[in-house]
Amino acid sequence: MIEPLQFFPTNWIDGMKIMKQHFVDSENAFRDELRDCQSIPLTSYNYGLIAPLREEESLKCWFSTDNQCEWNLKVTNCRAVTAAGARIEITQHTANKITNASAFVEAKINVETFKDDVLYLVLISTNPFDRQVAGIPLLEEIPPRYPFTQSTNTLSVLPSEQLPKLRTSGYDLIIGQIYLVDGFPRWNDNYIPPCATVNAHPKLLSLYERVNVFLSQTELYLIAIMQKIHLKQGNELAEGIWEIANQLIQYLNTKMGLFKFLISESPPVFMLDIVAGLARTFKNAMDQRANDGKTEILQHFWEWCGHTPAEIESITIQCANLNYQHNNMNSSIVSTVSFLELFSKLLERLWKLDVIGKKYDGNIFVKEESQADEEYLNKHKVKNRFFTD
């Protein structure tokens, strides 16, 4: 969000009476132009939390409540850039530098008027033009003064239905969600705030590792399935599966390097888009078959993976039609993970079949793992300790 410039350089002329406000105005103009330059490359999907400092987190906040209708909020870590290009830098490193506990942000929120069954958003706001003094006073100077200033950061809570109004302010950032159920607040631990890059949040990094393993394993399964069909001269159904696998391999050929080298430092939407593209390729490859051919393939998948044709299409379409919202990416992640689980199960079952494309009759032997299969997977085995269900 490119906010309009609010401050402009001071007009200095010879002989003018210099006042403190002239320097304040000049600094505000400089800050505003710097913020404006930072906001130019920002879009609706690449602002938010940034990569953390070493051995720290990009966001660390504390939440508690008492019997006096008050919520106590405190942020001890927040590294972010807002949609307007304003930087938020709340870290232990900053606190140590300015030796001032006010580097952290606290708030007490009165919730007497809050209602049950409503989702409330926790926001951190920054104002780079309203600065607070910080540091240890320099008593040896005349007059004594604080050595530093820092942007004013505040915390607030508001109902989620007011979210559209936030689009008018580029200095706010959603950092949490709280549900109020029967008068008791529940912090949403699954919520992922807007992130400028995947490596800005541990949950996104965990998903990145999972998708990385999924794509690598998918590539291995697809090649193994195509080899089985090629060697055993399958029927028309097997040829249809081979064609689908071939299109998926062609898609992965263009994405694997991109994912491994760039995605961890790219906005989260690019990671989800790669999986959505795989789902779209899978759906389009099936749709290219004539009606009977598509039905036969879906029926074959149903027999071996346990998901009905309607379930397979529904999960695939939801993932392919990615409706990404930077302030609430959890819904997109749920659709992505559902497709990962479905597709992984489907490919694993097909890979274990002795004859791919043969109709299920109750007497078909499904191999747990042949020696050739075991050697193939061991040779190309993907190891990743972060891959969890």
State pLDDT tens for residues 272-298.
999 999 999 999 999 988 777 888 888
Secondary structure (DSSP) of 210-268: HHHHHHHHHHHHHHHHHHHHHHHT--HHHHHHHHHHHHHHHHHHTTHHHHHHHGGGS-H
* Beta-strand relationship, 87-90 and 118-134: unpaired
Using CA atoms in the order 123, 129, 133, 135, what is the torsion angle rounded to 10 degrees?
80
- pLDDT top residue among 231 and 358: 231
pLDDT of 33 reads 95
pTM of this structure: 0.87
Phi-psi region of 30 (alpha: psi -120 to 50; beta: other; left: phi over 0): alpha
Terminal CA-CA length for the chain: 37
Structure tokens at 232: 């055993």
pLDDT of 18 reads 95
Which candidate, 60, 125, 56, 118, places its Cα nearest to that of 86?
125
User: CA-CA distance, 226 to 239, in Å (whole number)?
Assistant: 9
Which candidate, 80, 1, 11, 9, places its Cα nearest to that of 36?
1
User: CA-CA distance, 16 to 299, in Å (whole number)?
Assistant: 85
- Binned at pLDDT 50, 70 and 90, residue 234 comes out as low
- pLDDT top residue among 355 and 156: 156
- Whether a cis peptide bond, with omega within 30° of 0, leads into 194 is no
| Cα–Cα separations (whole angstroms), residue 243 to 80, 168, 225, 257, 343 | 45, 49, 11, 23, 16
| Cα–Cα separations (whole angstroms), residue 279 to 170, 239, 304, 321, 357 | 34, 20, 19, 9, 21
Contact 82, 47 (CB under 8 A): yes
Using the predicted structure, report yes or no on whether residue 388 has a pLDDT greater than 50: no
């499904």: which residue's tokens? 366
Using the predicted structure, report yes or no on whether residue 248 has a pLDDT greater than 50: yes
- Binned at pLDDT 50, 70 and 90, residue 361 comes out as low
If you average pLDDT over residues 320-346, what whole number do you get? 94
Quote the strand ranges of 115-191, DSSP E.
118-134, 148-159, 172-181, 184-187
- pLDDT top residue among 156 and 1: 156
Contact 212, 260 (CB under 8 A): yes
Type and span of the H or E element at 36: helix 20-39
- Binned at pLDDT 50, 70 and 90, residue 364 comes out as very low
